Structures are given as C-alpha cells and as structure tokens.
Homo-oligomer: A and B are copies of this chain.
C-alpha cells in the first residue's frame, strides 16, 4: 500500500491548485450581490466531488443558498462517516487592510492567504482531497457522505430544515467537521465543546431627519447620544453582561473541568499575542480560557450614526443603530437570551428615542458525548500525524449545524479542526498554515483507516 506521506507530498501542488480554484470565488453569503458567486462556489465543490470519485453528486435548493451533497458507499457493514463543511465565507471588508486581495489566494511565509483559507474552504477541501486519493487507489475503508452548505456564516438558516427533510440521505454513524482551530501550532486538537450564538440588531430614531446643530442643538435629542447611553448599560463595571436573566441556567465549571483547562499549556501572553489586542479584558474572577470557552458574552459587532465621512458636518443625527451577537454556553436558550436583551434595550432606551429591535436568530451551545469510540480513533490518528498527544479543548465559536445533527439525526459530532487561532478568520489577511494543510490530510487519511 502506498505511503500516505509520500502520496500527499507528491500531490501537494495539485492539491493547492484545487483549493485555490475554490478560494478565488467570492462566495459571501451575507451579501445579496454575491448570490451568483455563492452558487458558483457550490458548483465548484460539486466538480471537485465528481473528480474525487464521489457518486450521487447533487445540488439541493433551499429557501436560501443551496446545499451540496456527494457520497461513496462501497463498504457495506463498515462505518459511514458524514463529513460536513461550508463553502460560504465572511464578508472581506475592510478591504484596505488586506496585504493581498482576499479572493486572489497566494502563499507567503508557509501560509495560504485568502478569505475562506481556514474558514472553511481550506479545511473541508482536505477531506475531499483525501477521499479522492483513497478512492482513486481503491483503498478507502469506510463509507463517506459529504454535506457542504452555503449559509454557515449567516447562521445556517436553512440547514436544519434540510437535515430534517433528508434524514435517510444523511444517515451515518457519526459526523466529522473540520471547521475549528488547534490551540497551538504543532499540537493537534480535538474539540468537545462549542458556544452557541444569538443575534440582534437595533435601530433607534429621534426624529424625521437630521438637523443643523446650530439651529436646533441643545433643544432636540441626538440619536447618537441616545445610542451610546443605551449601549453603555449592557455591561457592568466587572465586565459582566448587565441584562436581567442573561446568565439564567449557566452552570459554573466543575473542579475537574477547571483542572483540565489550567493544565493546558497556553498562557495569557500567548493568547494576547494571538489576539493582537492591547490588553486582556473580561469578567473578573475568570481565567482567559474559562472566559472564552465557558462564559457567555454580549458583543457589539458594529455601531453607526450620523456623518462619518471626511471633514466636518455639523449635524444632529436622527438615526443610529447597532449589531449585537451573544455567545452562549450550555443551558442557555437563544430565544430566551434574545428576549432578555430585547427587554433590557426597551427598558433602558431613552424616552427621546423610538426603538426597533430585530431578532437575528441563534443556536444553542454544544458538548460532545464523552468516551465515544470515534473520539479515540481520532485521537490516535492525530497523534500519529503530528507526533504529539492531542489537546482536548473547547471552542468559543459556534457551529450551528452540530445541534441539528444531534437533535435531528441523533448523531454525535467529532470536531477535528486544523486551523490556528491567529489565522484571522472573519478578519483581514485570513490565512491557513501549509503545515496543517499537509498534516491534516495525513490525519484524515489515518483516521479513516483506524476508524474502520
């Protein structure tokens, strides 16, 4: 049997070319103007599936962006693995902060730079390329199903519905997802927990139109003032979210969990370097990993009001807005959180403003079932590929579909991520380390052999 390391080394250039073809497509799911690009990315993934030797390669329409499916079911009696990924990406803005254009992938310093390089085109493509290698050589020991969606970055709006309507198509033994990060370069990671997400958008108005600050200033409300006053009430002095009911049901860590976290060799200094932030900040009395993995948050993702262009405009803005997302932990219900924040905003909105709050939906947090055999197989494959014991970690981010697989298909999910925390996902200069592109494919290859 061919050695996977040699095979992967020999095909490195061809594999990168496959990935670059996908990264060139600006499949920004959040922006209507990119609708046809999103569809083009779906087609490109189907092309790769067909070249990989998958069968029943299908595009499934949803009420939003389409879902792509392909399978290889030639091993009756052996495990069936459902691989999930997404072909959509975050908006690339602000464009001026990229050092190379977001949709013109290039390799610099051993890293692939492009929007989607690590989140998630780069990672899901590794599974397809390993499938192509093993199917091509007739050595794939398991059954595979691929489910690749186009709405992960906008909350997987229609995927749960799709899963519910295709339970037979998607039946499997477990799900594997590579859409997460390792803790540190060189050490693989298995993730057993994710935070959930809840989103809101608010707009407030203080009048029919903007006003001249000379003729009216001092006697009429200013929407920007009302907004900052309102938003400043959302946190208290200790960094906690000051919304009644926000922490309802949130459990404190067990002593064992605290020990596991504190044993991980990651320091605040390293975390800060990865973040590029000027300082750490958060709830008092919690470590950094506890804050990011086990505590809920409320973040302003964007705020706006009035004149923000070049120069001066002496205007009193009549309109202001903000986008908010909360990260959730186990036992928090997204709808209850949205209701609690909405209630808080209404209670604290200055009388001078009219407030509109939009519910942008959400998903609950996730914890993996401890001791599942696929977790052990993955641990071994990762150990072999990297020559290092994997970190067992949680993640602060959210993968909405994990809940759907659990609740609708009864399937456990294995989160085997090959990204790194400083790869700027959702930010300018997103990138993916070539080393993990290579070792990740090796780990996937070994995983399918061991899992059988």
**A residues adjacent to B (C-beta < 8 A):** 29-32, 90-91, 93, 97, 153-155, 181, 195, 197, 199, 205-222, 224-225, 227-229, 231-232, 235, 271, 275-283, 288, 291-292, 295-297, 299-318, 320-323, 325, 327, 351-354, 360, 395-398, 421, 424-429
Contacts and interface: CB of A to CB of B under 8 A. Distances in A.
Given A205-B278, A227-B228, A211 B32 contact: no
B301 A313 contact: yes
B351 A218 contact: no
B300 A303 contact: no
Contact of A300 (B197, B211, B222): B222
A218 B292 contact: yes
Main secondary structure of the interface of A (DSSP, over half): loop
Contacts of A316: 299, 301
B91 A307 contact: yes
Contacts of A395: 214-215
A296 to B, nearest CB: 8
A295 B222 CA distance: 16
Given A214-B397, A214-B398, 9 more contacts: A31-B310, A195-B214, A209-B427, A215-B292, A217-B396, A221-B278, A301-B315, A308-B323, A314-B325
B314 A215 contact: no
Nearest to A119: B212
B308 A215 contact: no
Residue in A181, A297, A320, A353 with the greatest tally of chain B CB atoms within 10 Å: A297
A426 B217 CA distance: 13
A10 to B, nearest CB: 34
A275 B283 CA distance: 43
Contact of A302 (B97, B281, B282, B305): B305
Contacts of A424: 209
Contact of A31 (B181, B280, B311, B354): B311
A397 B304 contact: no
Residue in A32, A205, A301, A327 with the greatest tally of chain B CB atoms within 10 Å: A301
Contacts of A222: 299-300
Contacts of A208: 276-277
A217 B297 contact: yes
